[in-house]
Amino acid sequence: MPHRYLLFNKPFNVLSQFTDTQATVSAQRSTLKDFIPVPDVYPVGRLDHDSEGLMILTSHGELQHHLSHPKFGHPRTYWIQVENIPTPKALEQLRQGGLKIQNYLTRPTEVRILSTPPNLPPRTPPIRSRQNIPTAWIEMTLTEGHNRQVRRMTAAVGFPTLRLMRAAIAHLQLDGLTPGQWRDLTESELKPLLTSLSSKRSN
């Protein structure tokens, strides 16, 4: 059987796994199985249940490991709605890296304020809003993926995350996928991933 390679736009409050190991009869949570009827595919990395956006799923275990492992440094781009307007100092702190988050120091990252909010559907439920506090959208590209890292980074510089959307993984983007939708990767999308894997094997 040939391997499958999928892109999925994970909605808010969906677990990025196929089973909820902590489910109870009275508290069933949505999982990937509620959206993806494809057997034997597994997520490449995770998104927190309260985060949204792009995920890759595949039956190709070696590629899954290659894309998930921090040492290979595949860029991940996020759109982040934060409370208040980030200062130049805060943005520079994020760019330079070296923020102490739990037991690690962050790497340098690319960060910019988006001049207009990204064109996203409303979140259900909507984010909390306070009329006297403005919000802003920033774009951040990381090459690492610790647990809840983006949220902890923005909080560390004084601008808590309100909404978090993963917009891209390397060259792969959300274009055309609404929340809950998935599709197979095209040959042109898949080729760079397999080339990267082949290069790793030869090193």
Task: Give the number of domains in the chain.
Answer: 2
| Domain region containing 37 | 1-73+171-203
Compute the distance between CA of residue 113 and CA of residue 87 in angstroms, rounded to an integer.
Answer: 10
Q: What is the pTM of this model?
A: 0.92
Same domain as 82, residue 160: yes
Given the structure tokens 């391997």, which residue do they identify?
A: 3
CATH of the domain at 133: 3.30.70.1560
Residues of the chain with pLDDT under 70: 23, 25-26, 70-73, 200-203
Based on the residue annotation, tell me whether 175 is a catalytic residue of this protein: no
Which amino acid, one-letter code, is at 68? S
Compute the distance between CA of residue 145 and CA of residue 76 in angstroms, rounded to an integer.
Answer: 8
Task: Quote the pLDDT of residue 72.
Answer: 62
Task: Quote the pLDDT of residue 74.
Answer: 81
Q: Which of 20, 34, 40, 48 is catalytic?
A: 48
Instruction: Identify the sign of the CA torsion 202, 44, 178, 152.
Output: negative
Task: Quote the pLDDT of residue 14.
Answer: 95
